Structure 1
């Protein structure tokens, strides 16, 4: 009898082990299929099988992270997007190209610059510059760290519409190629105020159609750059660490803002009001194109990004507004600015 029980125990262990192996193999097969579908959807091709295996492992880990987060109670959700085969470190290095200017940081400390919207006393409960025709379609900077150029251009497109009545898609590539005199370094990062300074000195900016985006650093095409489609006369910095001041600015026009977009929650944000953890190490340039409040009373900024329409809410993110920190969530109120027509 004892031998019979022992045989049953051994047999049971073997069956259990075989089932576990089959289950594991099935999980591996399903993950490979999931990764293959994702590759097709996003046009991803790897150099060899080793690279593919490496990326699939990252993909698997990111999926687990996303599922774990979404199982919790949050005001926003994460999703599997085009960045799902990148580690967070790789993502930050490739896509976040804002470089804070030491010169501007010193100027902010003195708070000596003018602010034309200081005396604005009435701000609507919500505002969306897209609905007023002052925002072009979401663009995609691709694997080029020139978010600063997209942020500056979006703000300039907004003020051009407000001052001329025409919405014109302007050229980010012109800034990437031609704005190289100061701290701006094309795909290696830059600063929106410097972009505004270049546009003023250049007496304008050409259209995206005339100087199309390539997603790489290139030699300045001075002939195309001389064909101006829009111009600005100046720019101003919003008083630092002051969300109320930023609200006054955005009530009047889209504004360039810098944020800390380094966390995995930003990498995989897919919808809702972003209330996630983030610091104030500014590393990404975006554009505030409105604000509002949800049905549960959560105030938010409406922010246009430059990672394509498959990221976030069709290329946009709603970020919590009026938080306890004076810098704003992710530092959004630290280094905001806007062009002047």
Structure 2
């Protein structure tokens, strides 16, 4: 009996050693993994100049960063025709990102310019087009931590329309729209609508240029002197018929167009390739459609100019899938599009 008890005791001890050993090994593995991701976090902070107020905030941001990295790597491991990157937004939650880096207030009851569509009868368009090669697109800008995408999308469409009409490409002022197109639906860094911005430009008899009224990424008092010195004007604007990608194609084939999309999610971390989803239709961000084409993989795409600087995407630009089954288009691109008429 004593022999049996001793054997039982030895077996019990051995089991405890094995269990604790397994726990220790698992904990060590997690620690090594956390150490590796934390090193990446430190490198990311150095690259993007991130500084936090205290260790608690740094730890909170690290946990968000770790979650976003897992999301990005999971997508990149899925053999998709596009890649995501651990970019400047990697320490933001989805809601923080939307609050700081987008700015479209969503589909609402805003004024509609007209029921006409000037490109309705266009029957032939080029198989591909890039308005950058035609001299109708200014370099990529950066809206900063200000919900002013609506102003940048409007200006991108405006700059293109003016260049195609006059032959001169002028960098127009987003800040004038942020400061002066307020008191109604548009609210500066708190969001707005391109259509309302077009209405302001018409009523103000034009918009001044960026050199006169430079961008600050903040809400300021309207500079009446500079806003009263327009550098380019339009006579009207039109909306592209809703949920009709073919009509959007006709418009973009003739000029740069302001479009609004859902940007929270994979689009926010986009690096390269043709984004094919998943992507919803909860519109929160506006960009400028400056072309279209077909990738080497045979995927039709829209070419978009964003306003998050050149570190994002393909040097500030993105390609998202065109001719999708959903009538709203990829990321809702066919739901709210408009262009200027000079």
**TM-score exceeds 0.5:** yes
Larger Rg: 2
Q: Tell me, in whole angstroms, the C-alpha distance in 1 between the residues paired with 2:171 and 2:291.
A: 19
Within 5 A, what are the aligned runs for 1:144-223?
A: 144-223=146-225
1:296: which partner in 2? 297
Asked whether the equivalents of residues 134 and 161 of structure 1 are also in contact (C-alpha less than 8 Å), the reply is yes
Call closer, same or farther: CA 1:251–1:19 in 2, change over 3 Å: same
Describe the SS at the equivalent of 1:82: coil
Q: Tell me, in whole angstroms, the C-alpha distance in 1 between the residues paired with 2:169 and 2:36.
A: 47
Call closer, same or farther: CA 1:102–1:87 in 2, change over 3 Å: closer
Within 5 A, what are the aligned runs for 1:84-163?
A: 84-100=90-106, 102-104=108-110, 107=112, 113-163=115-165
Asked whether the equivalents of residues 237 and 336 of structure 1 are also in contact (C-alpha less than 8 Å), the reply is yes
TM superposition shift of 1:123: 0.4
Taking structure 1 as the reference length, the TM-score comes to 0.92
TM superposition shift of 1:117: 1.3
- The count of corresponding residues between Structure 1 and Structure 2 is 336
2:326: which partner in 1? 325
Q: Tell me, in whole angstroms, the C-alpha distance in 2 between the residues paired with 1:340 and 1:259.
A: 22
1:305: which partner in 2? 306
Describe the SS at the equivalent of 2:53: coil
CA-based RMSD of the aligned residues comes to 2.0
Task: Find 1:56's aligned residue among 59, 62, 76.
Answer: 62
1:269: which partner in 2? 270
Range 79-88 or range 269-278, more displaced: 269-278
1:257 aligns with 2:259: yes
Task: Find 1:82's aligned residue among 88, 98, 101.
Answer: 88
Asked whether the equivalents of residues 106 and 282 of structure 2 are also in contact (C-alpha less than 8 Å), the reply is no
Q: Tell me, in whole angstroms, the C-alpha distance in 2 between the residues paired with 1:74 and 1:243.
A: 23
Describe the SS at the equivalent of 1:289: strand
Question: Any idea what the Cα deviations from partners look like across 1:152-187, whole Å, max 9, x if unmatched?
Answer: 000011111111111111111110000014310001
Describe the SS at the equivalent of 2:229: coil
Q: Tell me, in whole angstroms, the C-alpha distance in 2 between the residues paired with 1:216 and 1:80.
A: 26
Gaps of 5+ in 2: 1-5
Question: Any idea what the Cα deviations from partners look like across 1:175-217, whole Å, max 9, x if unmatched?
Answer: 0000014310001111101111111111111121221111111
Q: Tell me, in whole angstroms, the C-alpha distance in 2 between the residues paired with 1:282 and 1:240.
A: 13
Asked whether the equivalents of residues 150 and 191 of structure 2 are also in contact (C-alpha less than 8 Å), the reply is yes
Asked whether the equivalents of residues 88 and 267 of structure 1 are also in contact (C-alpha less than 8 Å), the reply is no
Q: Tell me, in whole angstroms, the C-alpha distance in 2 between the residues paired with 1:332 and 1:12.
A: 57
TM superposition shift of 1:104: 4.2
Q: Tell me, in whole angstroms, the C-alpha distance in 1 between the residues paired with 2:29 and 2:330.
A: 43
TM superposition shift of 1:24: 2.8
TM superposition shift of 1:126: 0.3
1:25 aligns with 2:26: no
1:287: which partner in 2? 288
Taking structure 2 as the reference length, the TM-score comes to 0.92
TM superposition shift of 1:30: 2.1
TM superposition shift of 1:79: 1.1
Question: Any idea what the Cα deviations from partners look like across 1:98-128, whole Å, max 9, x if unmatched?
Answer: 12463448x59xxx61111122121011000
Asked whether the equivalents of residues 65 and 91 of structure 2 are also in contact (C-alpha less than 8 Å), the reply is yes
Task: Find 1:248's aligned residue among 250, 253, 258.
Answer: 250
Q: Tell me, in whole angstroms, the C-alpha distance in 2 between the residues paired with 1:12 and 1:240.
A: 65
